Amino acid sequence: MINYALLIEYDGTRYNGWQKQGNTPNTIQERFENILFKLCGKKVEIFASGRTDKGVHAKGQVANFKCEIDMHPEEIKDYFNKYLPEDIRIINAKIEDERFHSRLNAKSKTYEYNIATVKPSVFNRKYVYHTEDSVNVEKMKRAAAKLLGTHDFIGFSSVKKTKKSTIRTINSIDILEESGIITIRINGNGFLYNMVRIITGTLFEIGTGKKEAGVIDEVFKLKERSLSGETLPACGLTLESVYY
Amino acid sequence: MINYALLIEYDGTRYNGWQKQGNTPNTIQERFENILFKLCGKKVEIFASGRTDKGVHAKGQVANFKCEIDMHPEEIKDYFNKYLPEDIRIINAKIEDERFHSRLNAKSKTYEYNIATVKPSVFNRKYVYHTEDSVNVEKMKRAAAKLLGTHDFIGFSSVKKTKKSTIRTINSIDILEESGIITIRINGNGFLYNMVRIITGTLFEIGTGKKEAGVIDEVFKLKERSLSGETLPACGLTLESVYY
């Protein structure tokens, strides 16, 4: 068995996210597994570094699958790119150690969230969240520092009560503003369901003055989802890189 | 009558160009005139700085129309943006002098042509022309200098014999390369049919070594379309700005 790892980008606009779930049609995973069936002559599962939700984009998703077929990674890449729709593309393919697993071995991931404070152009409208509110980026930057480090992030997620750990570490949050686009770039060792969109939503509401920065301490203390900010729309979110 | 001028951007991918022509459906002009009919209660014509062909994009198209309705330009802008499809957008609206005509008064225009020498990402694939050939950008830059100034450009156009003047002036051609994208930016006082796509096609073929730079002098001398380069695909072309 050869373990192939793929570096993948996609425009998530028209998909129901990465992960096949019950009968939900039109997932990105399904697109890959249809091609894998053709390639390997049998059902083969592909594992991504993490699901991305409906409408979320990726510039550096990583996924792996095991297959008996012995092909050069370049051929694997070309094969997929031949059959994938135009909004999904393999950037690179390589052979990994047999034990490599794209999700279990991921050390950290970087996501980017884009908020447009001017009307987005027709060229980037699908990749940003547009607001008419005025946003104080300096306030967002100061508040972001409170999120760094290891915390229980359950209050910044859509996770209901769970036995699994909801403790995660955020390594960095960089916020920059250019030409009316505020970019929030977050690196962490893992993210709970909706965590990036709720963290950016909380920072956004701090930026607009709807919330005070102190709310972050409260959410950590009380673990209460109702205190944190709104879940920003999926379209503004892009999975940038996965680090191993 | 008030003369309104609009600054417009569009993703030309799914349109048959700006200009209504006979029964060709799905032009950008038609989209505007449908809205104008609603706004003014009668047929009103809109004039663009120039037609853009099927599949060509714009970041700074200018168009004007005359209408008796007395509305603030901001209201005009919002009215159009409410009814226009998502891939066409008014950036700005203003009231111009009664004699202003977006095509007749244009002093110069800037077009940009993008050639990708690496496989384009899913995010920019609709806005570049992708080639697998290796391209010598320095050769292109040197050859571009020969195109500057006032010449008869008929050999760099799809214009058949005509009584109208085919003399135009190119003020500048800037060529730069970044992250696998070669951008050719051309400013001139006017462009003949397909002129930008044939000029960039000729520079491209000089860059790949298929043609020598001397071909440019020959095309000027012999006015022979068959000597100049191919017409590059529409998707790589964007009308950037119109100057008055």
Closest CA relative to residue B189, chosen from B79, B96, B106, B82: B106
The length of chain B in residues reads 244
Which residues of B are less than 8 Å from A128 in CB distance?
Answer: none
Q: Which of A31, A91, A123, A124 to mutate to test the interface with B (most CBs of B within 10 A)?
A: A123
How much is the average pLDDT of A94-101?
Answer: 96
pLDDT at position A5 is 98
The helix or strand, by DSSP H or E, that contains position B88, with its residue range, turns out to be strand B88-96
Answer whether B11 sits within 8 Å of A122, measured CB to CB: yes
Q: Which one-letter amino acid corresponds to residue B170?
A: I
Amino acid A158: pLDDT: 95
CB contact under 8 A, B11 and A86: no
Q: Identify which of A10, A123, A127 has the shortest CB distance to residue B11.
A: A123
Region of residue B149 (left: phi > 0; alpha: psi -120 to 50; beta: else) = left
- Quote the mean pLDDT of chain A: 96
Residue numbers in B near A87 (CB within 8 A): 122
CA distance B151 to chain A (A): 35
Is the Cβ–Cβ distance between B237 and B197 less than 8 Å? yes
What is the biggest distance separating any 2 CA atoms in chain A, rounded to whole angstroms? Answer: 57
β-pairing verdict for B108-116 and B129-130? parallel
Cβ-contact B105, B244 below 8 angstroms: yes
Is pLDDT of B156 > 90? yes
pLDDT in tens, A11-67: 999 999 999 888 888 999 999 999 999 999 999 999 999 999 999 999 999 999 999
Q: Mapped to the 3 state alphabet, what secondary structure does B26-50 carry?
A: CCHHHHHHHHHHHHHCCCCCCEECC
pLDDT digit string, tens, across residues B32-51: 999 999 999 999 999 999 99
Angle at B229 between CA B225 and CA B233, to 5 degrees: 110
A206, A146 Cβ separation under 8 angstroms? no
Summarize pLDDT for A115-147 with one digit per residue, the tens: 999 999 999 999 999 999 999 999 999 999 999
Inspect the interface and report whether the beta carbons of B9 and A119 lie closer than 8 Å. no
pLDDT at A70: 87
N-term to C-term CA, chain B:
22
Other Cβ atoms less than 10 A from the Cβ of A19: the count is 15
Residues facing A129 on adjacent strands = A115
Q: How far is A120 from chain B (nearest CA, A)?
A: 10
pLDDT at residue B21, rounded to an integer: 81
Quote the strand ranges of A121-224, DSSP E.
Answer: 129-130, 149-152, 167-178, 181-188
Distance CA B118, CA B182 (A): 10
> From CA B143, how far away is CA B136, in angstroms rounded?
11
Residues on B contacting A at a C-beta cutoff of 8 Å = 9-11, 57, 59, 86-89, 119, 121-123, 125, 127
Q: Which domains are assigned to chain B?
A: 2-96 (3.30.70.580), 108-243 (3.30.70.660)
- pTM of the predicted protein model: 0.88
Q: Which residue of A has its CA nearest to B124?
A: A123
| CA–CA separation, A9 and A58 (whole Å) | 5
Residues of A in contact with B89 (CB under 8 A): 119, 121-122
Q: Which of A108, A227, A226, A131 is nearest to A182 (CA)?
A: A131
Task: Average the pLDDT over A85-105 and give the result.
Answer: 97
Strands A129-130 and A108-116, how do they pair? parallel
